[in-house]
Every structure is written in C-alpha cells, then in structure tokens.
Structure 1
C-alpha cells in the first residue's frame, strides 16, 4: 500500500530535524517523540514542564526525562537553564546539523584528578559511584537517561556505563543510542551491552551517524535471518554454524528467492535441510554466473532444448537428469 501526504489541508507548518526521522523513529519511545514534536512546535518559545505534560498527555516527570533524552542525544539544545522547581521552564532550539556530532572529550579532561574513573576491571562501590556522579554532570545525565530506557539502574549497570564513557571513550549520545537499541531488542543484560560497546569502540563507531549505520546493519542482518528461517520452515533459531552460512549468503548478495530455490532443490535431492548442501549449490550457481532464480531456470531450459532431437525420449530423460545434476550440484561428483 502506498501513502501520500496531502499538504494542502494544512496551515502553518514546522520542521523536524532529519536526524530524528533517520535515527530515532525506531529507537525513541512514543512519549519521547510526542515531547519532541511539541518542543519543535514551540521552538523559540519558553514552555514549562507542565505545558509539555498538558499538551502531550505525558506526566511531568516523563516530559522532563524526555527533554533530557533529546538533549543528551544532541537533537535539541537548551537555551538557558532548567529550574528544579515546580515551574520548570525550557526554551529549546533544534541542534544545528553541524553540531550533532560533538568533538570527543575524554572524561579525564572533563573531571578533576581526584575523580578519575578507574578501569572496568575495578568494581566501584556505591560510595565511589556517588562521588563520581558528584564530580561529573555527564555521568549524572547518562544515569538519568539510562533509567528512562532500561529502568532503575543496579550497581553493575552503573559500573558498565561509567566504563563505556571513560574507559572506552564512547560519547554520551552513542551510549544512549546503544542502550536504546538494546532495549528495543529486549537484550539489556550488562554482558550483551558491553560486548557491543567494546566492538563499537574497537571499530571507531563513536558518532551518532556511525552508530545508527551499525544498528541498521544489525537490523538488516536480523531481518535476513528471519526471512531465511521462514523460507526454510525452521522452528528454532539457527545454530552458530548455520548463522555463519546465512551471513555469508547475505554478504555475497544472494537474493532470498535464490536461496529458497536452492533450499527446494536440496530437499528434492537429499530430502532434508542441509545448510552445507545449500551453500554448495549457491556457490556452484554463482561460479556459473547464475545470480537469480530465472538465471538457473533459463540454464535448465536451455540444456533441455539442446538435448531434444538428438536422443530418444528415455535418453532425453536420462540426459536431462544428468545435465540437471551437473548444473546444480556438479561439485558433489
């Protein structure tokens, strides 16, 4: 189904930063999106937390948490201070595109020597974490935003966030995107988050754009796996070895239809699911220049046509089978 926006029925309009549509439609919560839309609508004007709550239907606390989320994600920037009284007032402007990716700043440059954060191998006590929070506004903000994403933080989660920020040097907005992504796939255990964080740091994924590109790749890989499972009629997740095959097929550019066709031929030949057999068929087709189902079918038809008129019907049938096998699985003989 196709959709078309009828702009003619609208009056005044306001803009939404492209980065929101590109990076946060899947990651941000509905309440966070609602708050952002209202803030953008009030761009240049002062509005209170109560105003946001009344016009979006979220609570005052949710409104304040959402504002902090967008500020830490560098989507909006406050013009002035946010009061801690009941009459909190906020005036925001969309963050200019050129300032979305802020220059990296090491925690050691931002904090006093007495508050230098230790290596991740050292587990901080509650008192040590409290001391670090007192000296670091960034850590306080990260904790507050993290709680809106994954819930009340435990000591090990606080240690993990401190480690990601200081030891790995990941920017605040990158950590927020990482936590939001993990929450979206319901994998918020510390070990999983730290595994991704380590990979991002190692591969220099430390800007909002780079983090979103990585998430899109992960989502595409997940969708490809789910599609393969559906086409192979699998009722369980692929094993590690099977997942390697699927990743190879995706990276090689094999269309899902071609992989499914190879699956069908595998069932016809050996009457069972074999990733190794499917992989050999796909590689054989690729080596023969066949990259679509139609390519394979055309080759099969051409072979049959070339055999007609040169043999008896029985010979043709036998030759066709022999030729067919040579096309799809000559590697086995």
Structure 2
C-alpha cells in the first residue's frame, strides 16, 4: 500500500529535523515525540513544563525529562537563537554547595577501559552525582526510559561514561536502542558499549549509523528465523552464516527456497547444507528464486526431450548441472 501526503490542506506548517524521522521514531517514546512536536510548533517561545504538560497530556516531570532527552540527542539546542527555549530544570540538587557552583564533569580516564566495573556503593554514587551534572542528567534520562534505576544500572552508566569514555548522547542513544528491542539488562548494554568504545563509535552520527546497521541485521535474522520456522535464536555458528548471507546479498526469499530444497533432500534444517546450495546458486549466476525456478524448468525440459534416446553422456551432464543448485 502506498500513501501520498497532501500538505496543501493543512495551511501553516513547521519543520521537524530529519534526524528525528531517520533515527528516533523507534527509539523515542510517544511522550517524547509529543513534547518535541509541541516545542517545534512554538519555536522561539518560552515554554514552561506546565505549558507543555497542558498541551501534550504528559506530566510536567515527563515534559522536563523529554526536553533533556532531545537536548542530549542534539535535536534541541538550549542556547541557540530560534531553537525551542529550554525548560527550566526542576532537578533536585544533591546539596546547597553544588547549587552555588558550576558542577565539574567527571574526569575521563586516559587508561584503557577495564574489563570489569568497580562496584560503587550508594554513597560513592551520590558523591559522583554531586560532582557531575553529566552523570545526574544521564541518570535522569535513563530513568525516564527504563524506570527506577538499580545500583547495578547506575554503576553501569558511570562505567560507560567514566571508564569507556562514551559521550552522554551516545550512551543515551545506546540505552534507547536497547529499550526499543527490550534488551536492557546491564550485561547486554555493556557488551555493546564496549564494542562501541573499542571501535571509536562515540558521536551521534556514528552511533546512529551503527544502530541502523544493527537494526537491519536483527530484521534480517528475524526474517531467516521465520523462513526456517525457528523458535529459538540461531547459535553463534549459525549467526555467522546468516551474517555471511547478508553480506553476500542473498534475499530472505532465496534463502527460504534453499531451505525448502534442504527439507526435500534431507528432511531437516541444516545451515551448512543450505549454505552449499546458496553458494552453488551464486556460482551459477542465480540471484533470485525466479532464476532458480527457470533453470529447473529448463533442465526438466532438456531431460524430457532426451528421455527417449539419452545416452550416458547426457545423463552425466544433467546430473552435473542439477547438482549445482541442489547440493
């Protein structure tokens, strides 16, 4: 089904940053999208959390957290002329002394990232929060995404920021992505964070590109699982083959057809067998199911036309050709 938008009937319009449509439709919550649209509609106007709440239906606390989310994602620029005005912060400060002075960011370590986290106590975490506005904001935004934070999650955020050296907006983007796929356990988040740090994925652009790649890979694997009627995730070895098929440009439709051929021949799911079929088809120049089906029809016609007077040479030639896309 296709749709065409007719903007003329709407009268006055306002712009939405392309980055929102490209990268945040899955990652942002409905409330965050509502707040952003309201602020974009009234760009340049001072907006309080009460204004936003009254016009979007989200609570004042959710409105503040949403603004902070978009600021950290570099969609809203708090101090830029013409951008939506920042909502006054309602965040409670840890102490009076912190309010009186500008908070200093946590000093990022120049040492290589450790392979484990330091298990900070609640008192130690509170001290870090008192010294770092970045950490306070990270906790607040993460809480708006995941709900109340456990000690292990706060430790994880500090580790990603302080020891891995990931930027605030990158950590927020990572946590938002993990929430969108419902995989928010600290071990999973930290595994991706470590890979990002190792591969210098530490800007919004790089993080968004990586999320697009990861999303495409997940969609491809999900398509393969449906094609193979699998009820569990592929093993490590199977996942490696799936990634090879994706890199080679094999469509899910073609892989499904190879799976059907495998079931016909050996009556079970066998990734190695399917892989041999796919490689044989590629070597024969077949890039679609239609290519394979046309080749099968041609070979069957050839066999039927020569069935009355075929010699051993014809039979061997046929076997050789047919084996290219059955084994």
* TM-score (normalised: structure 2): 0.85
- Alignment pair present for 1:135 and 2:131: yes
Q: Which residue of 2 aligns with 1:78?
A: 78
- Alignment pair present for 1:188 and 2:184: yes
State the alpha-carbon separation in 2 of the partners of residues 172 and 138 from structure 1. Answer: 7
* TM-score (normalised: structure 1): 0.83
Distance change >3 Å, CA 307–CA 177, structure 1 → 2: same
State the alpha-carbon separation in 2 of the partners of residues 33 and 148 from structure 1. Answer: 13
Question: Could you tell me how far 1:161 is from its partner in structure 2?
Answer: 0.7
Question: Could you tell me how far 1:311 is from its partner in structure 2?
Answer: 4.1
Asked whether the equivalents of residues 145 and 176 of structure 2 are also in contact (C-alpha less than 8 Å), the reply is yes
Q: Which residue of 1 aligns with 2:193?
A: 197
Q: Which residue of 2 aligns with 1:249?
A: 245
- One of 254, 264, 274 as aligned partner of 1:258: 254
Runs of 4+ with >6 A deviation: 313-321
Question: Could you tell me how far 1:22 is from its partner in structure 2?
Answer: 1.1
Question: Could you tell me how far 1:189 is from its partner in structure 2?
Answer: 0.9
- Alignment pair present for 1:61 and 2:61: yes
- One of 297, 319, 324 as aligned partner of 1:322: 319
Question: Could you tell me how far 1:250 is from its partner in structure 2?
Answer: 1.0
Q: Which runs of 5+ in 2 are unaligned?
A: 80-84, 92-103
Question: Could you tell me how far 1:329 is from its partner in structure 2?
Answer: 3.8
Q: Which residue of 2 aligns with 1:277?
A: 273
SS at match of 2:261: helix
Q: Which residue of 2 aligns with 1:13?
A: 13
- Alignment pair present for 1:297 and 2:293: yes
Asked whether the equivalents of residues 304 and 320 of structure 1 are also in contact (C-alpha less than 8 Å), the reply is no
SS at match of 1:162: helix
What is the aligned-residue RMSD (CA, Å)?
A: 2.7
Cα deviation digits, residues 102-146 of structure 1 (max 9, x gap): xxxxxxx94479xxxx96542222111111111111111111101
State the alpha-carbon separation in 1 of the partners of residues 74 and 305 from structure 2. Answer: 73
State the alpha-carbon separation in 1 of the partners of residues 45 and 65 from structure 2. Answer: 19
Q: Which residue of 2 aligns with 1:48?
A: 48
Question: Could you tell me how far 1:85 is from its partner in structure 2?
Answer: 6.8
Distance change >3 Å, CA 320–CA 35, structure 1 → 2: same
Q: Which runs of 5+ in 1 are unaligned?
A: 87-108
- One of 228, 235, 238 as aligned partner of 1:232: 228
Question: Could you tell me how far 1:305 is from its partner in structure 2?
Answer: 4.3
SS at match of 1:16: coil
Question: Could you tell me how far 1:84 is from its partner in structure 2?
Answer: 5.3
Aligned residues, how many? 305
Q: Which residue of 2 aligns with 1:152?
A: 148
State the alpha-carbon separation in 1 of the partners of residues 195 and 90 from structure 2. Answer: 41
Distance change >3 Å, CA 240–CA 313, structure 1 → 2: farther
State the alpha-carbon separation in 2 of the partners of residues 224 and 58 from structure 1. Answer: 36
State the alpha-carbon separation in 2 of the partners of residues 71 and 309 from structure 1. Answer: 72
SS at match of 2:77: strand
State the alpha-carbon separation in 2 of the partners of residues 162 and 187 from structure 1. Answer: 19
Asked whether the equivalents of residues 105 and 131 of structure 2 are also in contact (C-alpha less than 8 Å), the reply is no
Distance change >3 Å, CA 146–CA 309, structure 1 → 2: closer
